[in-house]
Chains A and B, each alone.
Chain A
Amino acid sequence: MTRTSDKPSKKINDNKMTSSIRDRSQIVIILGIYILMILFFFILKPNYLSYDNIMTILLATCVNGLLALGVSFVIFTGGIDISVGTVMTFSSVMSGIALNNWGLPLPLVILFGFLVGAFCGAVNGFGVAKMYLPPFIATMAMQMITKGLSLVVSGIKPIYFTAAPGYQNIATGYFLGIPGFYNAIVILLVIAVIAYIIFSKTIIGRFALAIGSNEEATRLSGVKTDNWKIAIYSLCGLFAGFAGLIMSSRLNSAQPQLGAGYELEAIAAAVIGGNSLNGGEGSITGTILGALIISSLTNGLRIMSVPTELQSAIVGLVLALAVYFDKRRRINE
Chain B
Amino acid sequence: MDSKVLEMRNISKSFPGVKALDDVSFDLKAGEVHALVGENGAGKSTLMKVLAGIYSKDSGAILINGNEVKIESVRDAQRLGIVMIHQELNLMNHLTVAENIFIGREYKKKFPLFLDAGKQIKKTREIFSELNIDIDPTVKVGKLTVAKQQMVEIAKALSYDSKILIMDEPTASLTDSEIEDLFRIVRTLKEEGRSIIYISHRLEELKIISDRITVMRDGRYIDTVKTEEADIDDVIKMMVGREIFVKKQEPFKNEDAPVALKVENLSAGRMVKNVSFHVRKGEILGFAGLMGAGRTEVARAIFAAENYESGDIYINGRKVKIKTPNDAVKAGIAYLSEDRRRYGLALGMNVDENISMANMKKFSKLLFIDFKKSFTNSQMQREKLDIRTPSLKQRTKFLSGGNQQKVVLAKWLTRDSEIIIFDEPTRGIDVGAKNEIYKLLNNLAQQGKAIIVISSELPEIIRTCHRVLVMCEGRITGELIGDEIDQNTIMQYAIKRDINNGRLSS
Using a CB–CB cutoff of 8 Å, the interface residues on chain A facing chain B are 4, 7-9, 11-12, 14-19, 201-204, 206-207, 209-210, 212-214, 216-224, 280-281
Contact = CB atoms under 8 A, between A and B. Distances in A.
B186 to A, nearest CB: 39
A18 B371 CA distance: 8
Given A214-B342, A223-B360, A12 B353 contact: no
A320 B328 CA distance: 45
B343 A217 contact: yes
Contacts of B368: 201-203
B355 to A, nearest CB: 10
Contacts of B411: 221
Nearest to B376: A8
A204 B372 CA distance: 18
Nearest to B336: A220
Given A14-B391, A15-B391, A223-B326, A217 B346 contact: yes
Interface of B: 303, 305, 324-326, 328-330, 335, 337, 342-350, 352-353, 357-358, 360, 364, 367-369, 371-372, 375-376, 379-380, 383, 391-393, 411, 415
A12 B375 contact: yes
Contacts of A217: 342-346, 357
Nearest to B373: A12
B367 A204 contact: yes
Contact of B379 (A8, A18, A201, A221): A8
User: Across chains A and B, which 6 residue pairs bring their CB atoms closest together, nearest first?
Assistant: A222-B329, A213-B346, A221-B358, A8-B379, A213-B348, A214-B346
Given A209-B346, A217-B342, 19 more contacts: A12-B376, A16-B371, A201-B368, A203-B364, A203-B367, A203-B368, A206-B360, A206-B369, A207-B360, A209-B348, A210-B349, A214-B345, A217-B357, A219-B325, A220-B344, A221-B325, A221-B329, A221-B411, A280-B346
Contact of A11 (B325, B330, B379, B415): B379
B251 to A, nearest CB: 33
A7 to B, nearest CB: 8
B48 to A, nearest CB: 32
B357 A218 contact: yes
B328 A222 contact: yes
Contacts of A212: 348
A4 B383 contact: yes
A207 B356 CA distance: 11
Nearest to A11: B379
Contacts of A221: 325, 329, 357-358, 411
A327 to B, nearest CB: 16
28 contacts: A7-B383, A8-B379, A9-B376, A12-B375, A15-B352, A15-B392, A15-B393, A16-B371, A18-B371, A19-B350, A202-B364, A206-B369, A209-B349, A209-B353, A210-B349, A210-B353, A210-B357, A212-B348, A214-B347, A214-B348, A217-B343, A217-B346, A217-B357, A220-B337, A222-B326, A223-B326, A224-B324, A224-B326
Nearest to A17: B393
B348 to A, nearest CB: 4
B174 to A, nearest CB: 30
Contacts, number: 103
A203 B303 CA distance: 24
Given A15-B391, A222-B358, A202 B346 contact: no
B30 to A, nearest CB: 49
A223 B303 CA distance: 13
Contacts of A202: 364, 367-369
Given A12-B372, A203-B369, A210-B346, A220 B305 contact: yes
Contacts of A9: 376
B10 to A, nearest CB: 40
B348 A280 contact: yes
A224 B392 CA distance: 25
A36 to B, nearest CB: 29
Given A15-B393, A19-B353, A222 B346 contact: no
A220 B369 contact: no
A201 B347 CA distance: 20
B360 A203 contact: yes
A222 B325 contact: yes
Nearest to B304: A220
A92 B391 CA distance: 48
A217 B391 CA distance: 22
Nearest to A9: B376
B380 A8 contact: yes
Contacts of B371: 16, 18
Nearest to A279: B348
B364 A223 contact: no
A30 B358 CA distance: 34
Contacts of B391: 14-15
Contact of A218 (B346, B379, B393): B346
Contact of B325 (A8, A210, A213, A220): A220
A256 B353 CA distance: 44
Nearest to A222: B329
Given A15-B352, A209-B349, A220 B343 contact: yes
Given A15-B392, A222-B325, A280-B346, A206 B353 contact: yes
Contacts of A19: 349-350, 353
Contacts of A222: 325-326, 328-330, 358, 415
Nearest to A214: B346
B175 to A, nearest CB: 32
Contacts of A281: 348
Contacts of A201: 368-369
Nearest to A202: B367
Contacts of A203: 360, 364, 367-369
Interface centre among A7, A11, A218, A221 (most CB of B within 10 A): A221
A150 B168 CA distance: 60
Nearest to B372: A12
Interface centre among A7, A14, A210 (most CB of B within 10 A): A210
Nearest to A226: B324
Contacts of B350: 19
A160 B397 CA distance: 54
Contacts of B357: 210, 217-218, 221, 223
A201 B287 CA distance: 42
A223 B357 CA distance: 8
A281 B393 CA distance: 14
B328 A216 contact: no
A154 to B, nearest CB: 36
A85 to B, nearest CB: 28
Contacts of B375: 8, 11-12, 15
A198 to B, nearest CB: 8
B28 to A, nearest CB: 43
Nearest to A210: B346
B366 to A, nearest CB: 9
Contacts of A14: 391
B329 A12 contact: no
A280 B367 CA distance: 19
Interface centre among B326, B337, B346, B392 (most CB of A within 10 A): B346
B76 to A, nearest CB: 32
A35 B342 CA distance: 40
B353 to A, nearest CB: 7
A204 B344 CA distance: 20
